[in-house]
Amino acid sequence: MDHAEAVQTNATERYLLNELGPELRDQFEEHLFECQECALDVRAGAMFVEQSKITLAEQPIAVVAGKQPDRPKPAWMAWFRPAFALPALAILLVVIAYQNFVTYPHLMKAANEPHVGPWGSVNVATRGAAVTTIKAHPGEGFGLLVSIPPDNSYASYNLDLYSPAGKLQWSLKIPASSPDETRSIYVPGTGLANGTYKLGVTGISATGQSSDLGSYPIELQIQQ
């Protein structure tokens, strides 16, 4: 997914609202690894969503003895109650002012400063290669440069990341046709923890037959 496609499909808003399917979500998260503008939009949007959830939280329903409680009203109806509307509006104005004068300038400064996220490289042609070590923060994804030698017998490849417990953590299918044998991919940080992961690489032929091309250890070190 490129930036133009992300803008046309409103990917940022749909990502925050959890409306993207698994495949599109993975594509957008991979795009965030390369696009500072979209990453900034997601960070600012996530902050606004969290503040909105707090502001629009429903008030407790009073129960009078001998009387059934009124049917709960949607949270957005609270905006029409004068006793609630003014404080809520004041809170939102404070949030917006804080974002405009503090958060956005800080994020813009961070976006404009050079920053290289955690990454590592895997060479599929090398058997028994050394462990790839990657250091990341909690919840932070990482990039992988995967070098796969050209082979006309494969139409695509499956990349499967297995957790230290041996469970499938993440998977990605990539086409074999590429001008460069080194593929840059992004592994989302959701659910990642300290330990040694295994990157399994499988070659898929045009007829659907699969061949195991090896398993490569990746030691992930979470920095607190």
Is pLDDT above 70 for 86?
Answer: no
Lowest mean pLDDT among 15-24, 33-42, 49-58: 49-58
Domain count for the chain, please give it: 2
Average of per-residue pLDDT across 19-26: 80
If asked whether residues 124 and 175 sit together in one domain, one would say: yes
Confidence of residue 59 (pLDDT cuts 50, 70, 90): very low
If asked whether residues 103 and 131 sit together in one domain, one would say: no
Is pLDDT above 50 for 76?
Answer: no
| DSSP string over the chain | --HHHHHHTTHHHHHHTT-S-HHHHHHHHHHHTT-HHHHHHHHHHHHHHHHHHHHTPPPPPP--TTSPPPPPPPGGGGGG-HHHHHHHHHHHHHHHHHIIIIIHHHHHHHHHS-----EEEEETT-TTPPPEEEEE-TT--EEEEEE----TT-SEEEEEEE-TTS-EEEEEEEES--SSSEEEEEE--TT--SEEEEEEEEEE-TTS-EEEEEEEEEEEEE--
If asked whether residues 94 and 172 sit together in one domain, one would say: no
pLDDT in tens, 159-195: 999 999 999 999 999 888 765 678 888 999 888 999 9
Q: Which residue has the higher pLDDT, 185 or 218?
A: 218
% of the chain surpassing 70 pLDDT: 64
The CATH number given to whatever domain includes residue 202 is 2.60.40.4070
Confidence of residue 77 (pLDDT cuts 50, 70, 90): very low
Question: The domain containing residue 167 runs over which residues?
Answer: 119-222
Residue 16 confidence (pLDDT)? 73
Confidence of residue 40 (pLDDT cuts 50, 70, 90): confident
Q: Does residue 194 belong to any structural domain of this protein?
A: yes
Q: Does residue 155 belong to any structural domain of this protein?
A: yes
Q: Which residue has the higher pLDDT, 60 or 3?
A: 3
Residue 68 confidence (pLDDT)? 54
Lowest mean pLDDT among 85-94, 139-148, 185-194: 85-94
Residue 211 confidence (pLDDT)? 93
Average of per-residue pLDDT across 146-159: 89
If asked whether residues 108 and 139 sit together in one domain, one would say: no
Q: Does residue 68 belong to any structural domain of this protein?
A: no
Residue 35 confidence (pLDDT)? 78
Average of per-residue pLDDT across 71-80: 50
If asked whether residues 108 and 177 sit together in one domain, one would say: no
